[in-house]
Amino acid sequence: MDYKRAYGYEKSIYEYYVIGVVAFHGDDVVNGSCYGRLTGSQENVYLYTLFEKKGTMKTAIKLVLVYFVMQILAALLAMPFAMLYSYAVSGTIDGANTIALAPSMLLGFVGMGGYLWKKGYLKDDGKIWSPVSVPYLGWSIIIGFATIFLIDFVMSKLSFLPDWLGNTFDLLQSGWLGILCISVLGPILEEMLFRGAITKVLLRKYNPVKAIILSALIFGIFHINPAQVVGATLSGILFAWLYYKTGSLVPGILIHILNNGLSVFLSLHYPDVEYTSDLLGEPAYWICLAGAVVLFAVSYRVMNSYRLPD
C-alpha cells in the first residue's frame, strides 16, 4: 500500500504522533527500545522511516553549516592579530585580509576536526583509520590518477563556468601555510567531514547508491564555486564509494591529497595552463585520455571485487 499517497492529510497527524513519541522517550528511540511504539501499525512503519530519513538529511546539512560557522569564527579570531601584524610591518592594515586567510583556514580546520571528534563521528571502529591493504592503496592511486584525468577532460568542456575563488587560491598558494592547507590539511578535514561523518550517516538510512550520490552532491555544492562544483561532485562519488567499500578514510585521503597537491603543483609551475590538454598537446593528450579510461575500468573492477581482510 502506498501510505504516502493514501494518508494525505491524516499522514501529518501520524507525523505529529511520531514526533511526540520521539520527544517523550528521547534517546530510547535511537536505542530501539521504543521501536514497537512507533511501528505498531503499517502507517507508523512508514512514518518512522520517513522521520529517520528527514533527520539524516538535517544532520548532513547541519554538519556543513557547522563547518562554515567554524570558518567564520576562525576568521573573526585571526583577523585582529593579522591587522596588528600588518600594521606593525607596513604601517597599514590593508594587507590584513591576505595575512589572515591561511591562518583562519587552519583554525577552522582544527575547530571542525575537534567538533567531529567530540561528537563521536571519528570514533575508531577498527576500520576508519585503517590503510586497508598495500594492494588496495596501490589500486586507489591508479583509480585516483585516472579519475583526475577524466574529470579534467569533463571540466575542459565546461570552461564557461565562472571561477569565483581563483584569486583566493592564488593568495593561499603564495605562502607555505596556504599550500599546506590546500594540499594536505584540507583533504584530510574534508574526508573526515564528508565521508567520516556525512557519508557514514547517509549510509545508515539510505541504500548505498542513493547515499553515495547524495553525499557527492552535498560535497559538490559545498564548494560553492561554479568552476569546482561539477568536479567536486564527480570526485565525491569516488570518495564516497571508497568509504562504502572499505569503511576507511585512508584511500580517499590519499587520492584527495594527490588531486589537490597535483593541482597546486601545476598552478605554481604552469600558471598559464588551464587544462591537461594545454600541457600535453595532441596526440599525447588523447592517448593519455584513452589510457585513463582503461585504467579506471580495470581498477574499478579489481577494487569492486577485492576481498578486504577481516
Give tens-digit pLDDT for 81-135. Answer: 999 999 999 889 988 999 999 999 999 999 999 999 999 998 877 789 998 889 9
Where does the pLDDT of residue 57 fall: very low under 50, low under 70, confident under 90, or very high at 90 and above?
Answer: confident
Residue 201 resides in a domain: yes
Is 16 a residue whose pLDDT tops 70? no
Residue 95 resides in a domain: no
Q: Quote the domain boundaries for residue 144.
A: 123-305
Where does the pLDDT of residue 309 fall: very low under 50, low under 70, confident under 90, or very high at 90 and above?
Answer: low
Using alpha carbons, select from 63, 80, 72 the residue that is nearest to residue 107.
72
- CB–CB of 48/9 below 8 Å? no
In the chain, the number of structural domains is 2
Residue 65 resides in a domain: no
Residue 103 resides in a domain: no
What 3-state class would DSSP assign to 176? helix
pTM of the model: 0.82
Same domain, 42 and 143: no
Same domain, 148 and 285: yes
Task: Check residue 52 and give its pLDDT.
Answer: 56
Same domain, 147 and 49: no
Where does the pLDDT of residue 308 fall: very low under 50, low under 70, confident under 90, or very high at 90 and above?
Answer: low
Is 49 a residue whose pLDDT tops 70? no
Same domain, 31 and 151: no
Residue 111 resides in a domain: no
Task: Check residue 307 and give its pLDDT.
Answer: 72
Same domain, 164 and 299: yes
What's the length of the chain?
310
Residue 15 resides in a domain: yes
Same domain, 163 and 257: yes
Same domain, 22 and 133: no
Using alpha carbons, select from 127, 245, 259 the residue that is nearest to residue 190.
259
User: Is pLDDT larger for residue 37 or for residue 168?
Assistant: 168
Residue found under cell 590593508: 94
Residue 38 resides in a domain: yes
Residue 281 resides in a domain: yes
Planar angle of CA 211, 35, 1, nearest 5 degrees: 70
> What is the spatial distance between Cα 239 and Cα 192, in angstroms, rounded to a whole number?
11
> What is the spatial distance between Cα 81 and Cα 19, in angstroms, rounded to a whole number?
47
Task: Check residue 54 and give its pLDDT.
Answer: 63
The 10s digit of each residue's pLDDT in 245-300 is 999 999 999 999 999 999 999 999 999 888 999 999 889 999 999 999 999 999 99
Same domain, 187 and 277: yes
DSSP symbols for 92-141: SSTTHHHHHHHHHHHHHHHHHHHHHHHTTTT---SSTT----HHHHHHHH
- Which grid coordinates are listed for 33? 527500545
Mean pLDDT value across the chain? 85
Same domain, 276 and 138: yes
Same domain, 289 and 198: yes
